[in-house]
């Protein structure tokens, strides 16, 4: 790489001397050196992984799907160094992992599976798998308030997609331990909210954005799967023989 520059110096001594005082000789040499280095770098193989070549989630021969009605104050993981309650305290089935998450202070449906393709389908926003939540909020939102969520609202991490939301009667559900803190002079309202995103604490942030903080949050449905009569703290393993996922 240094040979062309040596040859130039030997054959053009007078030119080099005249340029030395102005700095043009050094600038030209640096420019040529930089160009050569850039060409050398471009010719080297790189280790970047193209999105198109990433490994696709694998489909297993014998898929396992477990529906779990997660209680309040349970982590969506199987281990915890701090000794808090985890999935291990409720689900003895090996090889399954949560498809998506449910906050520690939220309750309801959690889907676990050993099928990577199904996990991807549920967790990727572009797949648009709808989740249905029952949210008990403080106060009495009007239709005008709810319309803001139907149109999408601006949160710190960007605009939300339009939500499907309606006021509902209080559902017949289990008691929470501990119970929520209700203020005697402020009523509460139950909302049914359907979204296809999965941002961190999204439903809570959405209701707080329009002025009605969520006191209790229960996920009732994920795609085609729902709680139905599954009791809080119980799980159900689905029979997937000859059934498409």
**Cβ-based neighbours of 90, under 8 Å, separated by 6 or more:** 68, 74, 233, 235
Query: Active-site residue among 103, 105, 145, 234?
Result: 103
Reduced to 3 states (helix: H, G, I; strand: E, B; else coil), residue 243 is: coil
Tell me whether strands 214-222 and 107-113 are parallel, antiparallel or unpaired: parallel
Write down the residue that tokens 């104050």 correspond to. Answer: 73
**Cβ-based neighbours of 88, under 8 Å, separated by 6 or more:** 78, 79
User: H or E stretch including 14?
Assistant: helix 13-22
Q: Which residues pair with 70 in a beta bridge?
A: 108
Write down the residue that tokens 């054959």 correspond to. Answer: 11
**Annotation says 103 is catalytic:** yes
Cα→Cα distances 154→98, 134, 136, 211, 243, Å: 29, 22, 22, 14, 40
Supply the residues annotated as catalytic.
Answer: 103
């Amino acid at each position: 790489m240094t040979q062309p520059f040596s040859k130039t110096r030997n054959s053009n001594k007078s030119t080099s001397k005249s340029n030395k005082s102005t700095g043009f000789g050094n600038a030209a040499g640096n420019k040529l050196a930089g160009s050569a280095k850039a060409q050398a770098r471009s010719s080297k193989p790189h280790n970047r992984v193209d999105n198109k070549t990433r490994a696709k989630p694998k489909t297993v021969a014998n898929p396992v799907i477990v529906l779990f009605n997660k209680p309040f104050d349970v982590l969506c993981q199987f281990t915890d160094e701090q000794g808090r309650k985890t999935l291990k305290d409720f689900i003895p089935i090996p090889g399954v992992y949560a498809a998506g998450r449910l906050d520690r202070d939220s309750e309801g449906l959690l889907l676990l599976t050993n099928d990577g393709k199904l996990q991807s389908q549920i967790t990727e926003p572009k797949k648009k798998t709808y989740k249905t939540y029952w949210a008990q909020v403080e106060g009495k939102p009007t239709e005008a308030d709810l319309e803001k969520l139907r149109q999408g609202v601006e949160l710190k991490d960007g605009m939300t997609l339009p939500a499907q939301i309606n006021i509902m009667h209080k559902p017949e559900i289990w008691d929470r331990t501990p119970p929520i803190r209700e203020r005697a002079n402020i009523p509460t309202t139950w909302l049914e909210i359907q979204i296809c995103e999965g941002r961190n604490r999204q439903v809570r942030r959405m209701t707080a954005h329009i002025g009605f903080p969520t006191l209790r949050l229960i996920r009732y449905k994920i795609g085609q799967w729902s709680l139905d009569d599954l009791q809080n703290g119980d799980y159900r393993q689905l029979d997937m023989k000859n059934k498409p996922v």
